[in-house]
Structure formats: C-alpha cells, structure tokens
C-alpha cells in the first residue's frame, strides 16, 4: 500500500438517468454550481453535459428517462447506511473553505435538506439528496 503507482485508471465522468431533467438541471446548476456545457437534444433523448471547471469537457451528464411514470416516486430520504445496492453517494469537492460555506448557504436558501454532516478528519462534508434521491456529498478537503 505504501507504493504509489505512476498511473492507473480513474473515473472520467458519470451519467445519470433522471425522472425530471428540468428539476435535476436546476439542482445541479443552481444549487451545486455546475455549468451546462453541451447537450444532445433529439426527439428520442434529452441528454445534457455539465462541468465544474472550464478545462474539462464534462464531469457528468443527465439524461431524461423516456417514461418517468414507470418508476416509483423518488425516495429523497437518503441515508449513508441504507440497505440497498448501487451508488451510495457522489462526492462533489469545492476548492476552498469559503466556496464550500457559500455553497452550503445556497443549498440551505433553496430549501435543500441536510441529511447528514461529517468531519472525516480529511474533509468537512454535508450530505444531501438530488431530485431522484441520489446521495450527494458536498465537501471541502482540509
């Protein structure tokens, strides 16, 4: 474990299927501060790309599911220790303590519920849910 690999795999981006792309767009842009940087808008798909820094094409994408009525309502009562499979949460890091605190104020002002808070020794974190119930960790690295 003490040896550092000079290179290896890394995550490049993630793509989320969503029930309501407009609600998800507002959450990720207005509440979390991402910029929409591209889209594929065809009759059969609304696929949007987002980034946090201008030097990347995109960090993640949102795609409107064709039939949201096929799914039960979103369970936004996310809990880190829930008994389910799949992605537990997605961590979003802000570069400075001031930007982290400003983002928390924006989330609070928009009525986003803080599900859990944590001081992990290496980060300060707040956990929230996106409109589809995905766990989102908003953090600042110490």
**Residues sharing a CB contact under 8 Å with residue 24, sequence separation 6 or more, in sequence order:** 16, 18, 62, 130, 131, 132
pTM of the entire predicted model = 0.89
Question: Residue 86 and residue 105: Cα distance in Å, rounded?
Answer: 29
Mean pLDDT across the stretch 110-118?
Answer: 94
pLDDT per residue over 62-72, tens digit each? 999 999 999 99
pLDDT exceeds 70 at position 43: yes
- Predicted confidence at residue 40, as pLDDT, reads 93
pLDDT per residue over 9-34, tens digit each? 878 899 999 999 999 999 999 999 99
pLDDT exceeds 60 at position 1: no
């Amino acid at each position: 474990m003490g040896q550092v690999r000079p290179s290896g795999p890394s995550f490049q981006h993630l793509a989320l299927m969503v029930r309501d792309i407009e609600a998800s767009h507002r959450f990720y842009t207005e509440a979390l501060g991402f910029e929409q940087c591209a889209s594929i808008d065809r009759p059969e798909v609304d696929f949007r790309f987002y980034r946090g820094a201008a030097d990347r094409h995109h960090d993640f994408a949102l795609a409107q599911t064709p039939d949201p009525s096929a799914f039960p309502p979103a369970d936004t009562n996310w809990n880190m220790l829930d008994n389910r499979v799949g992605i537990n949460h997605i961590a979003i890091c802000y570069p400075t303590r001031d930007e982290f605190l400003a983002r928390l104020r924006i989330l609070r002002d928009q009525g986003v519920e803080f599900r859990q808070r944590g001081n992990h020794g290496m980060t300060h974190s707040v956990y929230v849910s996106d409109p589809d119930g995905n766990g989102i960790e908003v953090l600042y690295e110490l």
